[in-house]
Amino acid sequence: MPIALVVHGGAWDIPDDQVEAHHAGCQAALKVGWQLLRQGASALDVCEASLRVMEDDPIFDAGIGSVLTTAGTVELDAAVMDGTTLRYGAVANLRRIRNPISLARKVLEGPATMLVGEGAEQFAIDHEIPLIENHELIVERERALWEAWKASGAVLHHGQPRNIQQIADPPYASEVGGHDTVGVIALDQHGNLVAANSTGGTLFKLPGRIGDTALIGAGLYADSQIGAAVCTGWGESITRVALARRAIDLLERGLAPQSAAESAIRSLARQPLGGSGGCILLAPNGQIGMAWNTRRMAYAYQVEG
């Protein structure tokens, strides 16, 4: 049984001056996870360790460096799913947790499957996961972008800033950090497949908004008999088509991982309201698939042999 690991750092219009940093961040997460896999660590341990590297890297929209809400705060979501037991843990609307993936891992152990907000943070305290202040998650890049948006007099339209595109375009583009989920899929020596992800959400989102990341079947899904998928992109559009489960269904019908990934992304774009993003797939035999319809997707992977 081959071991395998694939990570992504978001699918969006990654600016030219951030490509190298995204590449380095994905490679760093891969290096940590691969070393653990080679030592015989479980896929669960590997996913948590790899994602913590990305949550601690301010280039990504996860953990430290995440984008800000309209209120100027950071709110984080994360989830993990064990493909052997089909157990999962999900957390959302976290404001005082540095590494949401570690809390999601604790939730996976039960008795709940998804915790949000204050309840999730109390669960963290009960399991000796320390809380931090929200401002510790904010980097100057994102603070400056939020202040520029506020100064522009932007108004909300259907829950999003009406002029979000103008803010994201030059001259602000080089100031913007990662705008998507980070994710990991690991296949360990025992054939266990685990999928995990973490995010700060969308730029200037409404406080309390939850996208696809913490939703099983939308942002991620794992079944060790079939495969695992992790998605990234515009969360609302990903959720409408249950993108992760759709990709797994395609694998179950016999498509190769690459074909399944490409087909899933085509379905994302075909929905009435459109959709943009990407996905990574990993089959039980170690085959990888990945596709995106954005300008770029950051990723790295390694398969034994």
The rounded distance, in Å, linking the Cα atoms of 251 and 260 is 6
CB 72 within 8 A of CB 52: no
C-alpha neighbours within 13 Å on the C-beta side of residue 285 = 5
Burial of 112 (0-12, 13-18, 19+ CB in 10 A): middle
Which one of 69, 181, 232, 294 is the catalytic residue?
A: 181
Q: How far apart are CA 5 and CA 288, in angstroms?
A: 9
- Beta strands across the sheet bearing 227-233: 220-223, 227-233, 277-282, 288-292
* φ and ψ of 131, to 5 deg: -95, 150
CB 258 within 8 A of CB 6: no
Residues 6+ apart with CB under 8 A from 82: 43, 44, 88, 108, 192, 194, 222
User: Is 70 noted as a catalytic residue in this protein?
Assistant: no
Catalytic center residues: 181
